[in-house]
Structure 1
């Protein structure tokens, strides 16, 4: 389906959307050194089976990471936030028209050239709402259309889009054969990337094989560099402690790890790269008939929690409070849209909020309104590890003390996404979206609800929508104050509450690499001896 975590996925470990820029970290740890050696197998972990590998039909971090091996975007972003070449060698924005020049000599894994016409077909596929790509509105502005003339690709925007080029850095391009028969993309690759997908064993592993002659990676990166592996094997390893043990024993070359296991790996001197991320983000289901449809319930549930304590438990004391919704480096709009708007006051204030709204406590202390008990289905990402489980139990016990009946469940990425976008049987979820620019979150905070759209929480916040409409008319960072004010409206109304940030590390053993739009940038991998 759509968004989320990484065991080695995009921009972080844990529930993630995508769209991160550079990691701003060239790696650290004793294992960062070592003699570079050619060939061999680079083995990395992901926390759950990714399902379909169609790169334009999922925004899950696992699929985003896997896609980067076999597919390229039109542009890339370096760790300073500067746009650099990808499939496109030149680019320009003139109002609502974007022109890009497709580089010479780009070929697909099947040997066919990749053309501007192919790029236009990709844009038009994602832009067609009938195709239900979750990348529409996230990495491609709604209403965009594309045409090709020779090597020139022209995007025409329906309305201003201040970060349109940044979005294109996370939009993978599919070759003509894949566009002609998308059914093959579920388990095969049809891309221009540095590797080709050669094996898929569901729930176990995915294998990619290096392509020779690839020269159009980020800023001209290629596969002829010394130290590139002959193949990449991505293994499904749901347990982070297992991943950590495999890293230490040499059974893995890369894995994203949180909590106590991360401290253990750092203490062992393993190589690591770091990405900043939202780790704790709380959503309430606004759908009709759910408790969260009542603003008083959302406010009270937020007031009752000690968010600082939850942050400490979730991150093992290594994190920081939530500040903005888009925190992945390079952050387009830094600031604080959260702290000044949080509903606070503790259990006493929360009880008063519910009392005033008619949610009164019965003889057994369970609250109800008009005969309907306050029952909460609370789901959280099991990939948050032991800290996540402990923090979730703390939150559930607080809500029970407030008078709610709470049924809680830890779910892996695939199950969590199926719940929020599919069955809709949830009331509170901890699911962190990680992006670098605030416009990429708009489809998740407004607009069509799931399953027709990405607005899985059915949020309808008039102040947020008005702020977004105004910010979209501004150029780039000129609209940052307006974007942050729009986010504040979501926090004020307890629609979405970011409460914990953390720097998340991807560790390496027997290899080094860089992080960027994903935890491991494929063309940066270098196998090392020892």
Structure 2
């Protein structure tokens, strides 16, 4: 996903809706303290800070400190709760939300219903190319605000069964930021619990707490004892370095995916878990790429021992993927993967390549028309040593069937720029993490990047038809249709989800919740 423009998910992006099940390992017994500094380690720099123009994990994480959504989603029950809006109603194609009283921006301005409507209409305008359009805000929706009543009315162009879940992930910008969006690149203009006071791109970002903040998720406030006075977000690309800083107290929190998580557990650090897809393989379907051929995509999939790959990538801590929208609370629980995922069969993979005209030549590398069958795998560098070993395994198994394969690790910023920009890639490991299947639609259909968020250029009429049928059903009544739509893509090897894991964010002298992403109002600083 264009995580710096996506996944959501994404890579979580982020994108949204993970549950945060705190695993108290002893830190929770310490008393909370006021006036402390919370230092969060991120594996990638968030880049430009406009919260509505990027959906990358790092940007989405820092966005939560300075901006609020209209509603929040309980990480365990999935219940819609208050945030900027104190009440809401969905009736047919009309969504009505009433804002909380007394909401102010960090610059002191009042947040009005018309300003909220301006936010929604900005995202809704395709010319603005917000990656949230169609993901967190329905295509064709129109918003209007009544400042006297504090009501925001959204008129939908078509049914949107999980519209409130999407609004729970859409940050709202204050009037000053809307008036001059260029200022949002390096500064913040929001109603959130913190305000950015210093930006040193590539190194750190410093936020200061806002007094008088009372409209957080389900009524959360910054007046709660133990709320940090200052938050420093520090860019630490190497996961082992981040783990060392956690143990020494140089960081208060960091997400650790690889094997370093085991020694942090043994050290007794606090942790909160994020169920997430960590292994999701995509192919570039664009014309001119070798992976535009469905036989090549299927062959590359069948050549892999996905169970072994899952074990290596997750350092033995992963489980099989079950759905594409996997973040708890999962809107459509079930299993769209197991029965659809192509089985490992190197012999069948080699036969498919023969049928596609890729013939083995000198050195065992296949070629067609004098062109070698060369494939480049891109993966994000935050997977740690497990990711490196997994990429090496995939390359080795592809070479065994005659593919000239190479793998390159890239930072989140570089990877997303590649798949959403130049498009010079064949296979990528990009994990889109969302909680409802409708949020995936723009990544699995529609305009290809750079004109849209469909970075893999997938065009599948069967999926499009299934989505139309699913959207026509209210809420979870359409879940079977949504899961069937996913299964169809997986069976064709258009997308290959192969690993899930309870990804852990560790804390030192701090505890917190992760209902989708780190919740700033849940952070409590502890006596050391």
TM tier, smaller = over 0.9
Q: Is the 8 A contact 2:358 2:367 kept in 1?
A: yes
Could you tell me how far 1:371 is from its partner in structure 2?
A: 2.9
CA distance in 2, matches of 1:180, 1:24: 36
Which residue of 65, 84, 105 maps to 1:87? 84
Residue 350 and residue 10 in structure 1: after superposition, are their counterparts in 2 closer, same or farther (change >3 A)?
A: closer
Superimposed CA distance per residue, residues 400-445 of structure 1 (whole angstroms, 9 cap, x where no aligned partner): 1111111221001001011100111100001100000000010001
CA shift, 1:316, in A, is: 1.0
Deviation of the 1:171 alpha carbon: 0.1
Query: Is the 1:17–1:432 Cα contact (8 Å) retained in structure 2?
Result: yes
RMSD across aligned positions (CA): 1.6
Is 1:417 matched with 2:416? yes
Aligned to 1:524: 522
Q: Is the 8 A contact 1:304 1:399 kept in 2?
A: yes
Shift of 1:32: 2.3
TM-score (norm 2): 0.97
| Contact 1:23–1:273 (CA under 8 A) maintained in structure 2 | no
Identify the residue that residue 355 of structure 2 maps to in structure 1: 356
C-alpha deviations, 1:43-96, integer Å up to 9, x for none? 010011111000000000111111110000000011210000000000000000
> For 1:272-295, what per-residue CA distance to the aligned partner results, in whole angstroms no more than 9, with x for missing partners?
100100000000000111011100
Q: Alpha-carbon deviation of 1:10?
A: 8.8
C-alpha separation in 2, matches of 1:517 and 1:120: 24
**Could you say which residue in structure 1 is the equivalent of 2:135?**
138
Judging changes above 3 Å, is the alpha-carbon distance between structure 1 residues 409 and 22 closer, same or farther for their aligned structure 2 residues? closer
Q: CA deviation at 1:200?
A: 0.4
Match of 1:48 in 2: 44
CA–CA separation in structure 1 for the residues paired with 2:68 and 2:144:
19
Q: Which residue of 1 aligns with 2:125?
A: 128
Aligned to 1:118: 115
1:412 & 1:339 partners in 2: Cα distance?
Answer: 30
Residue segments in structure 2 that go unaligned for 5+ positions in a row = none
1:455-498 per-position Cα deviation (integer Å, ceiling 9, x unaligned):
01100011111111110111111010000110011111111100
1:324-362 Cα distance to aligned partner (Å, 9 max, x none)? 101101000111111211222421110111112222211
Q: Which residue of 2 aligns with 1:62?
A: 58
Residue 399 (structure 2) aligns with: 400
TM-score (norm 1): 0.97
Please list every run of 5 or more consecutive structure 1 residues that lacks an aligned counterpart in the other structure.
none
Aligned to 2:101: 104
For residues 194-236 of structure 1, the C-alpha deviation after alignment (integer angstroms, 9 at most, x for no partner) is 0001110010000100000000001110000000111100000
**Residue aligning to 2:514:** 515
The number of residue pairs the alignment matches comes to 525
Match of 1:244 in 2: 243
Residue 15 of structure 1: SS of its match in structure 2? helix
Q: Distance in 2 between matches of 1:36 and 1:22?
A: 26
Instruction: Give runs of ≥4 in structure 1 deviating > 3 Å.
Output: none
Q: Deviations over 1:126-164 (max 9, x none)?
A: 000000000001100000110112311000000000100
> Which residue of the partner structure matches residue 469 of structure 1?
468
How far apart are the structure 2 equivalents of 1:32 and 1:169?
Answer: 28
Structure 1 residues 88 and 466, CA gap change in structure 2 (3 angstroms):
same
Tell me how far apart the structure 1 counterparts of residues 484 and 8 of structure 2 sit (CA, whole Å).
27
* Deviation sequence 1:160-188 (CA, Å, 0-9, x none): 00100000000000000100000000111
Q: SS in structure 2 opposite 1:142?
A: coil
